[in-house]
Amino acid sequence: MSGTLYITATPIGNMEDITYRAVRILKEVDLIAAEDTRNSRRILSRYDIHTPMTSYHEHNKIEKAYELVDMLKDGKDIALITDAGMPAISDPGEELVRIAADVGIDVCVVPGASASVSALAVSGLPARRFAFEAFLPKDKKKRRAILEELKNETRTIIMYEAPHHLKALLSELAPVLGNSRKISLCRELTKVHEEVERTSIGDAIASYGSEKEPRGEYVLVIEGKSADEIEAERQAAWEDISIEEHVRRYEDEGMDHKEAMKMAASDRGVPKREIYNALHKKKD
C-alpha cells in the first residue's frame, strides 16, 4: 500500500502554536520534507521529534517531488512542512501536493497557523470575502498587470512583503488604490514584537517615510473597493457626454427609446423623469 503525504502546519512565530496532532504526526512519519532543515530543527528539537528530514524547497521542488512520490508509492509516510505556517500556500509544497494527488497518493492536511488568515482576523477589515495575493511577482510587467486587476477588487486584499521592500510597495499601491484606502500592516505576528497598524495607505507612506523604518515580515490587509467608489466612478464616466448622446448609445445597441432612457437614468443616478424632461426640452 502507498503511504500518506501529510501537509503539516507549523508555528509562524510563537513556538506554542502547534497542535497535538501535528506533533504526533511529525513523530510517527518515516520522513519530514522541510523547506529549510536547519530552521525546522528548532521546532523539532522543542518537541523532542527525531524523525529524519530531507530538504524540499523552491530550487528542487519538481525533481525532489518525484523522488518523494516514489517513496510514498513504496509505503513511506511523509510530512511536508514549510519554514512557518501552512505548507503549499504561497509555497513550493503546492507542486508536491499536485504531483502526489495526480498519481493517487493520499494527501492529508494537518491544519494550524497561517499568517494570511491570522492577519485578516486581526485587521479589523471585512473578512467574509478576500483575495490572497501573497508576494507580488518581481517582474515589472506582471506586477503592473496584477496591480491593475486589483484596482477594481471589491474583496479585502491580503499581501506579503519583506521589510526592505515595504516602502516601495506602498508607493505602488497609492496611485492604484488611492491614499485614503484603509490598510492594516501586520508585522511579526505571534512574536514578541507583534504589531498591527490600522491606518490608510497615504498615512502609512508618510509614517514609514519619516518616522520609522520597516522591521520584520509584513502581512498587508487592504480594504477592497467600496460600493460608493464604484457608484461615483460609474456616474463620472457619463459626465463628459450629453444626455441625448447617452440615450442614443443604448438605442444603437438595440434598446427601445423608453428602455434607453431608463438605463441612462440609472447610470447617472437620477430619476427617469429628469432624462425625459431634458430630451424634450432639447427638442422644443
User: Mean pLDDT throughout 245-261?
Assistant: 88
241 has pLDDT over 70: yes
User: Mean pLDDT throughout 5-19?
Assistant: 96
pLDDT per residue over 162-194, tens digit each?
Answer: 999 999 999 999 999 999 999 999 999 999 999
Predicted pLDDT at 204: 95
16: Cβ contacts below 8 Å, ≥ 6 apart: none
Q: Residue 223's closest CA among 148, 173, 154?
A: 154
- Convert the chain into a string of H (helix), E (strand) and C (coil): CCCEEEEECECCCCCCCCCHHHHHHHHHCCEEEECCHHHHHHHHHHCCCCCCEEECCCCCCCHHHHHHHHHHHCCCCEEEECCCECCCCCCCHHHHHHHHHHCCCEEEEECCCCHHHHHHHHHCCCCCCEEEEECCCCCHHHHHHHHHHHCCCCCEEEEEECHHHHHHHHHHHHHHHCCCCEEEEEECCCCCCCEEEEEEHHHHHHHHHHCCCCCCCEEEEECCCCHHHHHHHHHHCCCCCCHHHHHHHHHHCCCCHHHHHHHHHHHHCCCHHHHHHHHHHHHC
Distance CA 89, CA 259 (A): 48
**Backbone dihedral region of 155: left (phi > 0), alpha (psi from -120 to 50 degrees) or beta?**
beta
> Percentage of the chain surpassing pLDDT 70?
97
Q: Do residues 78 and 33 lie in contact, with contact meaning Cβ atoms separated by under 8 Å?
A: yes
Predicted pLDDT at 282: 61
pLDDT per residue over 52-104, tens digit each?
Answer: 999 999 999 999 999 999 999 999 999 999 999 999 999 999 999 999 999 99
Count CB-CB contacts under 10 A for residue 244: 14
Distance CA 95, CA 33 (A): 13
Cell of 128: 467574509
279 has pLDDT over 90: no
Beta bridge partners of 92: none
